[in-house]
Chains A and B, each alone.
Chain A
Amino acid sequence: MRKLTWFNVTSLTLGFAFLYLPMVILVIYSFNASKLVTVWAGFSTKWYAELFQNQAFLDAAWVTLRVAVVSSTFATILGTMAAYVMVRAGRFYGRTLFSGMIYAPLVMPEVITGLSLLLLFIGIGLDRGILTIVLAHTTFSMCYVSVVVSSRLVSFDQSLEEAALDLGCSPWQAFRLVTLPIIAPAVISGWLLAFTLSLDDLVIASFTSGPSATTLPMKIWSSVRLGVNPQINALSTIMIAIVTVGVITASLISKRASVRALEDEQAAART
């Protein structure tokens, strides 16, 4: 182990303080007994208790959860299909354009994605509500899934699929019985990524939701405008926890399992 110099220690501390101090303060104040956000009055979990009594928040949480599960599932299916086509189909007419277009939403400002989806939904006369949020989230998170899955597919030994075909599989069976089980860790971590993206999205949800559907981030945003309230701190702490667990699990799964799968595959290919 190299020893850290005082300079390194300082920059590390400053950097992490900059990143995490706001969140740490938020988490601490969610356990504050006082109603005033800026005055510490001892430890309490009462805001959490109150939060679980607040029907408006619970409704919003339920909407968010449903949107996240459904949209991340669709995004995973579509994103995996797109990744498969891009990695496997070889050169076809318009391939560069297609792959560019799949990755474009990664760098597209959310406001623009949201606005264009809003215009589309109005244009085709679709009532805004849960369905439109699900569609919007699927659209913007599938490109993340396809990035994760295609990076795994690139290192996938294609002769495994050919062997499956050779042994009598249809192309769909070869995908389901050989490819999918082997790339499963990447697909799962893609799903988790899409899930957390959907969970904390405010901008696109605001553009595409209607009066009947309010997601949790939207609810938090609108109540904060009326003044910060310790319940919000509690809620935010829970969301931070969920997102953290989601992201860490996703990266652990994709790292560990894909490293292991790759080792297996290489070991199987050669001594």
Chain B
Amino acid sequence: MAQTVFEPWNDPDAKPIIQFKNVTKRFGDFTAIDDLTIDIYEREFFALLGPSGCGKTTMMRMLAGFETPTDGTILLQGKDIAPISPNKRAVNMMFQSYALFPHLSVWENIAFGLKRDKMAKDQIAARVDEMLRLTRLEKFARRKPHQISGGQRQRVALARSLAKAPKLLLLDEPLGALDKKLRQDTQFELMDIQEKTGTTFVIVTHDQEEAMTVASRVAVMDHGKIIQVATPAEIYETPNSTYVADFIGDVNLIEGRAEQDGDKVRVAWAEGQPAIVGTTTRQFDKGQTCHFAIRPEKVAITATKPENIANAVKGKIHDIAYLGNISTYHVALPNGHMIKAQAANNRRLSRRSFTWEDDVWLSWTDTAGVLLER
């Protein structure tokens, strides 16, 4: 079956729904957003990912209209939104704290925005019921926010912000308050709702797994700057910097000096160890400092030295983290350097091949890792 891939960011004709153009936001002399430029496309599920305090909420608040950029412009469907007050924007926000109105019932909370639009009574009722069905809250319509559970409250907040059918929905750490199981269910629910309604979602999260699960593209932020924007797979497989590689998932980072030969690079990284061989599309000067990044699951662990493989080093198992389906082995090399390798536990624990203090070989191909300049 031929399926068109959803990749508007690769289509030169696609018109972005949101454009940040050199946006800077300063609070006093503190720069929260630093000369940021980004396009977000219609129907995208766009995730902003970054550590606490990196400016994610500030970006959302500028889109919703609660903060104005110090410099630069934000365009919504090609129009500068600076002069439009928050109540006139076709943008709705789901607040980090949910911000449900405590004096109104679930039904009235969802109807609140519709009533402001002077919609006819029966239309409001129909729309609210539709939202209640979508978020599976029919039974709680008459309850007050303090009479329902955290997960239900989160769904009320979602229903309320979706009710007005905004062009753009902003979700600020929507699942922060939920426990892991409920959170995973809700992530799929969110994706489902996003697909059904065709709304563009921008979600803020500091949970990388969540971003990887829901998003069409992920922007990794640090100190008010976007470090990399790409699909979850690209972010994971080809991070553009050690910051991104380290932020998303687990990674081994090895610093060394590069020596390039075509698309192959040899990285001299420690006395008495063979140089690491990797592949790259970039250009490294001879002797330039570079970082070799490789995911633990791409490092094979064997008892004997494997044949015909680009990279193999010997070490001793220092620690084993048993995670049920997989185990992470921390292997110490003779020079003290620690490398993590992951292997699936496809045998029972009692029949595990390796244990503490075993001598093992770690190996990986020349295309398993990436070479980064910084």
Contact = CB atoms under 8 A, between A and B. Distances in A.
Contacts of B97: 157, 159, 269-270
A163 B150 contact: no
Given A166-B64, A271-B177, A263 B146 contact: yes
A244 interface: no
Interface string A167-185: 1111001000110011000
B30 interface: no
A167 B90 CA distance: 9
Given A268-B145, A271-B150, A271-B153, A168 B99 contact: no
Interface string A101-141: 00000000000000000000000000000000000000000
B127 interface: no
B116 A269 contact: no
Contact of A267 (B92, B103, B112, B145): B145
B95 interface: yes
A166 B86 contact: yes
Nearest to A166: B93
Contacts of A269: 97-99
B117 interface: yes
Interface residues on B, range: 20 to 34
B114 to A, nearest CB: 9
Interface of A is mostly: helix
A160 interface: yes
Contacts of B66: 162, 165
Contacts, number: 89
A112 B352 CA distance: 90
Interface in A157-211: 157, 159-160, 162-170, 173, 177-178, 181-182
A104 to B, nearest CB: 31
Interface string B157-169: 0001100100000
Given A159-B97, A269-B97, 20 more contacts: A157-B99, A159-B96, A159-B99, A160-B101, A162-B66, A162-B86, A162-B95, A162-B99, A163-B101, A166-B65, A166-B92, A166-B93, A167-B164, A169-B87, A169-B116, A181-B103, A268-B101, A268-B145, A270-B97, A271-B177
24 contacts: A157-B97, A159-B96, A159-B97, A160-B101, A162-B66, A163-B99, A165-B87, A166-B87, A166-B92, A166-B93, A167-B160, A167-B161, A168-B88, A168-B117, A170-B87, A261-B102, A261-B103, A264-B103, A264-B144, A264-B145, A267-B145, A268-B102, A268-B145, A271-B177
Interface of A: 157, 159-160, 162-170, 173, 177-178, 181-182, 261, 263-265, 267-271
